[in-house]
C-alpha cells in the first residue's frame, strides 16, 4: 500500500483520543503476599482499587464500603501520597480518599470482607504503610501538617506516636524479629534528595528506645532502609555523588558501614512518594534497580561481596520492586508496547504479564522508539530522548520537516525515561517529532547534575531545552520554525519561562504550571514550602531573583500563543497562578486560552478531563501550525 501525503500533524493515527484516554490505567508498585501479587490500579474514573492476581485469576480486593459508596484508595500525605496500601497474610490495609482514614479488609472463603475503618476520623492522613502482624507502621500527617512515625493497632484502632522530632519522616522498616525499626527523616529547607538522616532504634511494642543515626548528614541523602537480618541493614546513600547501596552491620552498636557496589549509577529514584529501592531476595541477595544515562536496569546484588548481576527481561523497570514466593514483581516499561505489571519467575528466568496499563492498540510498524540523545550546552552536556514521527500509512509533503513537540518533566527533581508512552505515540503517529528532555536538575545522572539546577532554575533548564531544539534542527530532523513545548507543574513553569525568555518556540501548553515564583514560595503545601530556596534562592531575601525569573512579569517578550490547563482544586500550584497569567497575557494583547477543570487537583485523574485537555491541545497546535487535525 502506497502511503498518502498529508501535512505533518494531520496524519490519521490508530491511537485515537478515546483509546489514549479511556483505556489506560495507572498501576502502583506491587506487593507480594504468598501466592498473590497485589497492586493498586487507577482507572478512567480516577478511582484507585486494590487488585490481586492469584493462580492466574484476578481479584478485586477493595470494592465498596458498607454504605454502598465505592472505595477509592489514595493517600494525600504531602499531597502526593505514596504506598497507600499494604497486604500481608490475606489482610489488606489501605488509606481511603473520602476520609483519609486507614481501613482494613480480610480475605475469607467468600472473598474479601467489607472494609472496616480503623483510625479515628480526625483528619490525620497516612502513607508509607507497612503491615506487621495486627499492626501497621506508617507516616502520619496531622491536620497541623506535622509528620509523625506511628504504629496503628488494627484490633482496637489505637494510634501510638513513635517519633515526632523532624519535619518529615519516611520508610519505616522493621527487622525480621520485630525488635528494631529503621527510617529516615529530614528537616526544612531540605528535600529528601538533598539531605536526610537514616536512623535506627530498638522497638518494644508501641515504644522505641534511644534513637541512633546510621548515615546521612550534611549534603548526603540516605534513604531506602532494608533489614537483611536482625542486626544488619542495607540502604542507599550518595556520599560519593551517586545513590549507591551500602551495608551496615550492627547498626544499633558499632555501626560498621561498607559501600557494597561503587558505580556511577543511581540505585534510587527521588522519593516524591515514599519510594523504596530495595527488596530482599534471600539471605545473600537483594533485588535492586539502577539507572545509567536515563535507562533503568533490574538485577540482584550479593550482600556478602557486592557482586551485581543484571537480569535481562525485555522490560525497563519503572517502579519499586517486590520479591517473594520465587518471583519478582514490578511495573515494566517496554520500548514498543504499553507498560505492564510484570512477574519474573526466578526458577525459569521467564517473565509473564499480569496486568497491562493499556491494550496493545498501536501495531509495531507505527511505534516510534526512543533514541537517547545528548547535546552540548554551557560547556557541558544535556540529555533527552528523541522520537521521530512514524506512520507507515502517511508521509509528509515533499521538503516538509516535521514540527517538534518538546516535553518537560515535572519536579523538576525527577526524570523522564525512554519507555513506550501512549501519550507520546499519540503525537508521533500524527506526524510530530518529540523531544523528551532531561535538563540539568534531572535525576539519574548523579548528584552533580542534579545540583547543577540549584540557584539556576529558570536559567539552566531553559538553556538546555533551547539548545536541544537547536541541535535537532541542525541535524535536519525537525522544522525549527514550527516548535511547541508542553509540560506540567514544574514542567509547566519551564514552558512559560521558555516562551518569555527565548524565541525558540511557536506555541506552548502549560498544565498547572507556575507563573509567579513568589506566589509559589508563599502559597504551596508544606512538603515543597522551601523547595524554591534551593532552586532559586531564599525567600524573601532573593525576591528580585524570583521576580526576574517569573514569566508573569516578562510578557513584553511573549510572542507565542499559550494554552493553560488547570485543575480548580490544585493545592500544589493554586489555580490563581494560571488565572493571573491568562489575565496578564490578555491585557498585553497576547493569544491565550485558559481551561479550568472542576474537581481536578495537581494532575488530571478523570478520563473526560484527560480527553478534553488532549483534544484542545491538538486543535491548538493545528491552529498555530496551520493543519487540520484528525480527531479520530
Helix H, strand E, coil C: the string for 436-473 is EEECCCCCCCCHHHHHCCCCCCCCHHHHHHHHHHHHHH
**Measured between alpha carbons, how far is 42 from 85 in angstroms, rounded to an integer?**
13
Average pLDDT of the residues in 141-157: 95
Does residue 316 carry a pLDDT above 90?
A: yes
Q: Is 616 helix (H, G, I), strand (E, B) or coil?
A: helix
**Measured between alpha carbons, how far is 320 from 28 in angstroms, rounded to an integer?**
9
State the pLDDT at residue 175: 97
Residue-wise pLDDT tens digits, 173-230: 999 999 999 999 999 999 999 999 999 999 999 999 999 999 999 999 999 999 999 9
**Measured between alpha carbons, how far is 553 from 530 in angstroms, rounded to an integer?**
22
Residue 468 CA to its chain's centroid (Å): 23
Note whether residue 190 is domain-resident: yes
Among candidate residues 116, 144, 164, the one where a domain is terminated? 164
Query: Are residue 205 and residue 237 in the same domain, yes or no?
Result: yes
Question: Which of 23, 14, 4, 11 is closest to 621 using CA atoms?
Answer: 11
Residue-wise pLDDT tens digits, 269-305: 999 999 999 999 999 999 999 999 899 999 999 999 9
Query: Are residue 522 and residue 457 in the same domain, yes or no?
Result: yes
Q: In the structure grid, which three cell numbers stand for residue 16, read together?
A: 485515537
Q: What is the dihedral of CA 198, 201, 204, 206, to 10 degrees?
A: -40
For 109, 301, 342, 595, the CA distances from 351, given in Å and listed in that order, are 30, 20, 7, 43
Note whether residue 293 is domain-resident: no
Instruction: Compute the radius of gyration of the chain from its Cα atoms.
Output: 24
Domain containing 441 — which CATH number? 3.40.50.1820
Average pLDDT of the residues in 40-49: 90
Beta strands in 43-167 (DSSP E): 48-54, 57-60, 85-88, 91-95, 102-108, 111-112, 116-117, 125-132, 135-141, 147-153, 159-163
Domain, as residue range, for 184: 167-278
Query: Are residue 194 and residue 103 in the same domain, yes or no?
Result: no
Among candidate residues 148, 164, 180, the one where a domain is terminated? 164
Residue-wise pLDDT tens digits, 454-510: 999 999 999 999 999 999 999 999 999 999 999 999 999 999 999 999 999 999 999
**Measured between alpha carbons, how far is 220 from 105 in angstroms, rounded to an integer?**
40
Average pLDDT of the residues in 335-346: 94
Among candidate residues 124, 140, 164, the one where a domain is terminated? 164
Q: Is 532 helix (H, G, I), strand (E, B) or coil?
A: helix
Q: First vs last Cα of the chain: how many Å apart?
A: 21
Domain containing 243 — which CATH number? 2.120.10.30
Q: How many domains does the chain have?
A: 3
**Measured between alpha carbons, how far is 144 from 147 in angstroms, rounded to an integer?**
9
Query: Are residue 409 and residue 465 in the same domain, yes or no?
Result: yes
Q: In the structure grid, which three cell numbers stand for residue 331, read together?
A: 511495573
Query: Are residue 471 and residue 555 in the same domain, yes or no?
Result: yes
Query: Are residue 156 and residue 173 in the same domain, yes or no?
Result: no
Note whether residue 273 is domain-resident: yes
Max CA distance (Å), the chain: 75
Does residue 22 carry a pLDDT above 80?
A: no
**Measured between alpha carbons, how far is 184 from 196 in angstroms, rounded to an integer?**
7
**Measured between alpha carbons, how far is 517 from 434 in angstroms, rounded to an integer?**
28
Average pLDDT over the chain reads 95
Note whether residue 36 is domain-resident: no
State the pLDDT at residue 388: 98
Average pLDDT of the residues in 573-589: 92
Query: Are residue 160 and residue 178 in the same domain, yes or no?
Result: no
Query: Are residue 132 and residue 176 in the same domain, yes or no?
Result: no
State the pLDDT at residue 434: 98
Residue-wise pLDDT tens digits, 363-421: 999 999 999 999 999 999 999 999 999 999 999 999 999 999 999 999 999 999 999 99
Note whether residue 298 is domain-resident: no
Query: Are residue 124 and residue 201 in the same domain, yes or no?
Result: no
Note whether residue 96 is domain-resident: yes
Beta strands in 400-442 (DSSP E): 404-408, 433-438
- What angle, rounded to 10 degrees, do the helices at 490-501 and 460-474 form? 70
Note whether residue 539 is domain-resident: yes
Query: Are residue 504 and residue 404 in the same domain, yes or no?
Result: yes
Question: Can you give the pTM of this predicted structure?
Answer: 0.94
State the pLDDT at residue 497: 97
Residue 241 is classified by DSSP as S
Query: Are residue 377 and residue 454 in the same domain, yes or no?
Result: yes
Per-residue burial over 575-603, b = 16 or more CB atoms within 10 Å of its CB, e = otherwise: bebbeebbebbeeeebbbbbbebeebbbe
For 11, 301, 472, 487, 491, the CA distances from 482, given in Å and listed in that order, are 16, 47, 12, 17, 20
Note whether residue 607 is domain-resident: yes
Query: Are residue 388 and residue 498 in the same domain, yes or no?
Result: yes
Does residue 564 carry a pLDDT above 90?
A: yes
Is the bond preceding residue 5 a cis peptide, omega within 30 degrees?
no
State the pLDDT at residue 360: 80
Amino acid at each position: 500500500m502506497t502511503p498518502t501525503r498529508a501535512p505533518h500533524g494531520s496524519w490519521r493515527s490508530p491511537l485515537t483520543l478515546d483509546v489514549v484516554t479511556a483505556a489506560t490505567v495507572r498501576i502502583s508498585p506491587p506487593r507480594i503476599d504468598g501466592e498473590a501479587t497485589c497492586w493498586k490500579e487507577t482507572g478512567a474514573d480516577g478511582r484507585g482499587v486494590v487488585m490481586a492476581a492469584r493462580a492466574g485469576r484476578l481479584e478485586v480486593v477493595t470494592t465498596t464500603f458498607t454504605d454502598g459508596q465505592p472505595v477509592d484508595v489514595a493517600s494525600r500525605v504531602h499531597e502526593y501520597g505514596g504506598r497507600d496500601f499494604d497486604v500481608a497474610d490475606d489482610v489488606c490495609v489501605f488509606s481511603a480518599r473520602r476520609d483519609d482514614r486507614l481501613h482494613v479488609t480480610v480475605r475469607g472463603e467468600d472473598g474479601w470482607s467489607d472494609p472496616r475503618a480503623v483510625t479515628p476520623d480526625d483528619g490525620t492522613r497516612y502513607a508509607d504503610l507497612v503491615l506487621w502482624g495486627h499492626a501497621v507502621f506508617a507516616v502520619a500527617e496531622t491536620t497541623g501538617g506535622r509528620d509523625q512515625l506511628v504504629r496503628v493497632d488494627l484490633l482496637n484502632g489505637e494510634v501510638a506516636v513513635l517519633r515526632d522530632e523532624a519535619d518529615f519522616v519516611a520508610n519505616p522498616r522493621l527487622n525480621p524479629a520485630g525488635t528494631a525499626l529503621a527510617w529516615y527523616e529530614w528537616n526544612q529547607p531540605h528535600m529528601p534528595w538533598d539531605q536526610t538522616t537514616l536512623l535506627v532504634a530498638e522497638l518494644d511494642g508501641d515504644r522505641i528506645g534511644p534513637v541512633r543515626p546510621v548515615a546521612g548528614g550534611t549534603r548526603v541523602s540516605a534513604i531506602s532502609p532494608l533489614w537483611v537480618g536482625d542486626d544488619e541493614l542495607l540502604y542507599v546513600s550518595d556520599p560519593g555523588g551517586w545513590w549507591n547501596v551500602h551495608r551496615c552491620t550492627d547498626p544499633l552498636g558499632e555501626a560498621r558501614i561498607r559501600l557494597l557496589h561503587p558505580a556511577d549509577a543511581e540505585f534510587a529514584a527521588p522519593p516524591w512518594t515514599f519510594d523504596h529501592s530495595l527488596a530482599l531476595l534471600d539471605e545473600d541477595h537483594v533485588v535492586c534497580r539502577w539507572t545509567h544515562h536515563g535507562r533503568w536496569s533490574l538485577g540482584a546484588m550479593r550482600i556478602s561481596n557486592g557482586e551485581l548481576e543484571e537480569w535481562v527481561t525485555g522490560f525497563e523497570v519503572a517502579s519499586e520492586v517486590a520479591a517473594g514466593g520465587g518471583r519478582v514483581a514490578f511495573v515494566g516499561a517496554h520500548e514498543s508496547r504499553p507498560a505492564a505489571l510484570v512477574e519474573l519467575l526466578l526458577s525459569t528466568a521467564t517473565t509473564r504479564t499480569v496486568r497491562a496499563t493499556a491494550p496493545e492498540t498501536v501495531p509495531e510498524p507505527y511505534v516510534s522508539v526512543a533514541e537517547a540523545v545528548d547535546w552540548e550546552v554551557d560547556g557541558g552536556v544535556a540529555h533527552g530522548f528523541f522520537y521521530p514521527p512514524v506512520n507507515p500509512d502517511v508521509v509528509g509533503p515533499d521538503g516538509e520537516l516535521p514540527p517538534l513537540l518538546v516535553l518537560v518533566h515535572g519536579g523538576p527533581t525527577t526524570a523522564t525515561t525512554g519507555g513506550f508512552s501512549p501519550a507520546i505515540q499519540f503525537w508521533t503517529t500524527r506526524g510530530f517529532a518529540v523531544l523528551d528532555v532531561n535538563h540539568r536538575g534531572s535525576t539519574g545522572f548523579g548528584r552533580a547534575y542534579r545540583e547543577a539546577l540549584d540557584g539556576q532554575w529558570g536559567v539552566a533548564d531553559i538553556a538546555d531545552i533551547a539548545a536541544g531544539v537547536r541541535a535537532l534542527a541542525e541535524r535536519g530532523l525537525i522544522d525549527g520554525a514550527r516548535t511547541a513545548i508542553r509540560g506540567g507543574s514544574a514542567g509547566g513553569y519551564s514552558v512559560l519561562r521558555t516562551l518569555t525568555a527565548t524565541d525558540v518556540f511557536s506555541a506552548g501548553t502549560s498544565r498547572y504550571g507556575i507563573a509567579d515564583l513568589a506566589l509559589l514560595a508563599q502559597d504551596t503545601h508544606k512538603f515543597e514550602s522551601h523547595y524554591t530556596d534551593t532552586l532559586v534562592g531564599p525567600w524573601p531575601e532573593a525576591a528580585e531573583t524570583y521576580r526576574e525569573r517569573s514569566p508573569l512579569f516578562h510578557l513584553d517578550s511573549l510572542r507565542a500563543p499559550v494554552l493553560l490547563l488547570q485543575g480548580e482544586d490544585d493545592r500544589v500550584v493554586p489555580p490563581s497562578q494560571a488565572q493571573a497569567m491568562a489575565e496578564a497575557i490578555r491585557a498585553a494583547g497576547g493569544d491565550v486560552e485558559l481551561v479550568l477543570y472542576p474537581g481536578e487537583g495537581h494532575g488530571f485523574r478523570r478520563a473526560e478531563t484527560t480527553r478534553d485537555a488532549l483534544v484542545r491541545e491538538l486543535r491548538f497546535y493545528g491552529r498555530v501550525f496551520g493543519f487540520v487535525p484528525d480527531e479520530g
